Structure 1
Amino acid sequence: MGPRWKGKGAEAKALADPMSKIVLKLQSSLIQSDARGILCGSSVLLAAEEEQALLFGRAYFGHPIVNADKDRQWFQLGMEEAFFLCYSLKCLKIAGEDKRPKDDQELWQCMKSKKAGFPVFYKAYSHLRTKNWVVRPGLQYGADFVAYRHHPSLVHSEYAVLVSSEGDAEANGRLKVWSDVHCTLRLCLGVVKTLLVLTISKNGDDDASPSCLANYTVDERTVTRWSPEQSREEDTTDNAESHTTDNAESQATE
């Protein structure tokens, strides 16, 4: 389907300011400030200074929370976003209710306790983020995530992402029957997105620790609706017959 850029010059702006460089700047800023987040329910809260807040906005992690603090901007990060910054980018520390920073193993167990399918969903999220896609929740489109080629202010989301894995109730059972496939494809067509199914294979490894992620593999498949009207060859039989008739009539007249 391809990217749908928002306005003239949007593509040029994205090319001039690649998402990979923006994320690197955010990573560096968080490391320098020894950034710390706080677990709050199923999300992580983080206070950012003005410059850092701008980088969060440009990299499109979390969403800002309205507050009366003029010196700092608070952001709310989803579990996959927070763990990506903490575990994959090594630029964020996350504390629990006891205010003590959790190590990777403790945080992993905490995330799993709040979301049973967290290992599979995180693998899918990190797979796309590592490829410099901007990944956001996709509930409003009937998907697990939506993926943008760059910042949502410059381009519309390109993919509606469904995560699948055998043995995980939260990431299994969809698209098993034709009616599910048909409804999902119709929905994607209506919102102008391509359906991307990420199938996570655990390869026999358990999810006791985040080290299992290295053994997980991701199979990418795009699913589109086939249109026979667009795919068939043009029928030229009538045109050929008409052309022959016209030639014959012309010769008879002469």
Structure 2
Amino acid sequence: MAAIFRKDSALVNDEAEASRIHNKGCYGEPQSGGSLKLNLLEALYLFESERLSITTQAGSEMTFGDLITYASRRIRNFEVRYIVYSEMRRSGVVVNLADDDSGMDFTLYRRGDTPKNSSPDSYVIALSERELFDASALLSAGRGVEGTGKHLVLSVVDEEGDITHYRVKLEEPESRSREHLSGQYSGILLSDRVVVPDSEQADKLRQTGFYGNRLGSGLQLSLIEAVHLMGKKSLRLTSAKTGRSVPLNSVIELCSRIDQSFQEKMAVYEDLKERGFIVKTGFKYGSHFRAYDDDPEKAHARYLVRALPSGYVSTWPEISGSVRLAHGVRKEILFALVRGDGVDYIGLRRYIL
């Protein structure tokens, strides 16, 4: 079967062949007169699969190298987009180029679905592992897909051409757990943490909000927990060095000085608490927080949460590691983007075609 190469497409003129290609794999756009117009990715994939030969309008046969060279000059991010397209096609699903004004690369159909009997299930963005993870751009893309009834899939291509697919979901995490904090508590401010020495107060804080960790008969609190409790006017601190009372603003200044991420971590902590979660450190899991619906000593965390500042960018290998670690411990990871008007949560999970 032969197609004639044109500027950004290949035309299959034989009506029977055109019909077979279109009907079997939903390739191309049928033209008047029975021919079929293939875009460059479709033509290259069919050529690579030895299902199509392509000639110039002068009748000369084109090689794979000819097509690759031409397509790389004409298509933005060609190699990455083609690797994703060809892998999806080989897996047996239908994938088409998305509209130019959508900001997406492809539309993807559920396995077994076609444009003839259904709408696309997902939009796909193809990325190289060398591109930056831009949290704000990802949030905008997620919002663009919201309301369309479709999912958003990121297909990240590594330097060897292997692909990891991620499904993106903008989350509004909520928990039905609610704490009933009451009473006044007294703590001692050390260099980077707080101790509540009174055993009865320690017991009550653990029972009402699962705060801190035991330290002898007392309770050790993180600075973030201490700032939260002071903001609720439930905790008073004295300095271990001076014995003097320490006001909330001094604790916040200390936190900001020793932890450059404090402001966004504090904002995310407070937001998760408002949403009803029991919040504990996520350090051992490579994140900032673990978010629980119930007693952390009896239940597993629902989420691992990373607090990100506005304008946050990172590398995809780092993000991939966070997602893989969360998956390995059977938790969902949320990237919590702190912006002026609140916190937006971006969920990423591995996706299998």
Tell me the TM-score normalised to structure 1 length.
0.64
Matched, 1:36 2:160: no
Distance 1:44 1:53 in 2: 12
Equivalent of residue 242 in structure 2, options 76, 98, 102: 98
Q: 2:329 aligns with which of 163, 181, 191?
A: 191
Bigger mean CA deviation after superposition, 102-111 or 128-137:
102-111
Gapped regions of structure 2 (runs ≥ 5):
1-174
- Residues 65 and 134 of structure 1, relative CA distance in 2, 3 Å threshold: same
Matches within 5 A, 1:82-231: 82-87=226-231, 89-96=232-239, 97-166=241-310, 172-173=312-313, 176-201=314-339, 203=340, 217-228=342-353
Q: Flag the 1:178–1:113 CA change in 2: closer, same or farther, 3 A.
A: closer
Structure 1 pair 117–183 and aligned structure 2 pair: CA distance change class (3 A)? closer
1:57 equivalenced with 2:219 (yes/no): no
Note the C-alpha offset of 1:19.
4.2
Identical aligned residues as a percent: 24
Deviation, structure 1 residue 74: 1.2
Counterparts of 1:237-252 in structure 2, within 5 Å, are none
Distance 1:111 1:28, change over 3 A: same
Number of the residue aligned with 2:57: none
1:207 paired residue number: none
Instruction: State the distance in 1 between where 2:317 and 2:253 align.
Output: 36
Measured in 1, the distance between the counterparts of 2:348 and 2:242 equals 46
SS in 1 for 2:246: coil
Q: 2:223 corresponds to which residue?
A: 79
Runs of 4+ in structure 1 deviating by more than 3 angstroms, as ranges, are none
Q: CA deviation at 1:162?
A: 0.8
Cα distance in 2 between the residues matched to 1:121 and 1:161? 10
Distance in structure 2 (CA, Å) of the matches to 1:180 and 1:79 = 26
Match for 1:222: what amino acid? Answer: G
Deviation, 1:110, is: 2.0
**CA distance in 1 between partners of 2:310 and 2:183 (Å):** 39
The secondary structure found in structure 1 opposite 2:183 is helix
| d(CA) in 1 for partners of 2:213, 2:342 | 29
2:198 and 2:218 in contact (8 A); partners too = yes
Determine whether 1:47 maps to 2:172.
Answer: no
Bigger strand share: 2
1:162 match: secondary structure = strand
Equivalents in 2 of 1:137, 1:157: separation in Å?
A: 11
- 1:103 deviates by 2.2
Whole-angstrom distance in 1 between the partners of 2:220 and 2:187: 9
Measure how far apart 1:78 and its partner are: 0.3
1:224–1:154 CA distance, 2 compared to 1 (3 A): same
CA-atom RMSD in angstroms: 2.0
User: C-alpha distance in 1, partners of 2:255/2:320?
Assistant: 33
What's the offset of the Cα at 1:149?
0.9
Give the distance between the partners of 2:319 and 2:251, measured in 1 at CA.
35
Shift of 1:107: 2.2
Q: Residue by residue, what CA displacement relative to the aligned partner does 1:218-241 show, whole Å, maximum 9, x if unpaired?
A: 11111111111xxxxxxxxxxxxx
SS for the counterpart of 1:98 is coil
SS at match of 1:128: helix
**Greater relative CO, 1 or 2 (CA 8 Å, sep 6+):** 1
Cα shift at 1:129: 1.4
C-alpha deviations, 1:157-215, integer Å up to 9, x for none?
Answer: 11111111147xxxx55xx23322322221111100001110011x3xxxxxxxxxxxx
What is the CA–CA distance in structure 1 between the aligned matches of 2:266 and 2:205, rounded to whole Å? 20
User: 2:238 touches 2:245 (CA, 8 Å); kept in 1?
Assistant: yes
**Which structure's CA Rg is the greater one?**
2
| Counterpart contact for 2:186–2:236, Cα < 8 Å | yes
Q: Which amino acid aligns with 1:155?
A: A
